[in-house]
């Protein structure tokens, strides 16, 4: 009986040593079992932090920090497929070059319309900040109102942006 107990005890110790060795090897290769996160790509984490900070801004601050806008409109294709194209581009400074141009197709903004959405979702406004500009937000337009930005009318948003650009 004691012999079986000792065998089980030795097996347990051997098993624990094997598990510890495996964990050590995984940690050496960069895989961690702790709550600490390792930054692999600082550019990606910076972009995430920028967008997180952006979301916390109020609407006035967002407009003030905006360096460019790209207005997308939809063209209906077959089966109510709505294809998005850049209709207008606005910048607050001639040195700001947005990564989109008028007439460019933006496939990520395409969608299939259904019933009531066919007529009232009529565009997307991409908002860029900084120079070089980074896309910070995309707001859908429903009847030319920015529903994600306090339901502000598109024309008012552009007016406020242009007013700040003139100063």
The domain segmentation of the chain, as residue ranges, is 1-31, 44-166
Token couple for 94: 């001639």
Query: What confidence score (pLDDT) does residue 116 get?
Result: 60
Q: Is the pLDDT of residue 30 over 90?
A: no
CA distance 155 to 130: 22
Answering whether pTM is above 0.75, one says no
Residue 48's Cβ-count burial label (10 Å; 0-12, 13-18, 19+) is exposed
Residue 109 DSSP label: G
CA distance 109 to 83: 7
Q: Categorize the per-residue pLDDT at 151 as very low, low, confident or very high, splitting at 50, 70 and 90.
A: very high
Do residues 98 and 114 make contact, with C-beta atoms less than 8 angstroms apart?
no
Query: What confidence score (pLDDT) does residue 137 get?
Result: 93
Q: What is the pLDDT of residues 52-111, one digit of tens each?
A: 888 899 999 999 999 999 999 999 999 889 999 999 999 998 899 999 999 999 999 998
Q: Is the pLDDT of residue 42 over 70?
A: no
Q: Is the pLDDT of residue 143 over 80?
A: yes
């Amino acid at each position: 009986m004691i012999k079986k107990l000792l065998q089980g005890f030795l097996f347990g110790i051997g098993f624990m040593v094997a598990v510890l060795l495996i964990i050590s090897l995984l940690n050496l290769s960069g895989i961690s079992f702790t709550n600490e996160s390792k930054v692999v790509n600082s550019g990606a984490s910076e972009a995430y932090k920028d967008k997180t900070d952006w979301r916390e801004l109020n609407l006035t601050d967002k407009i003030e920090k905006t360096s460019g806008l790209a207005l997308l409109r939809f063209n209906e294709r077959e089966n109510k497929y709505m294809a998005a194209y850049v209709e207008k581009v606005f910048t607050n400074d001639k040195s700001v070059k947005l990564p989109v141009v008028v007439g460019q197709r933006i496939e990520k903004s395409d969608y299939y319309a259904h019933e009531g959405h066919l007529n009232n979702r009529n565009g997307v406004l991409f908002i860029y900040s900084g120079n070089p500009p980074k896309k910070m937000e995309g707001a859908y337009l429903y009847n030319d109102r920015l529903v994600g930005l306090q339901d502000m009318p598109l024309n008012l948003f552009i007016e406020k942006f242009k007013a700040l650009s003139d100063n």
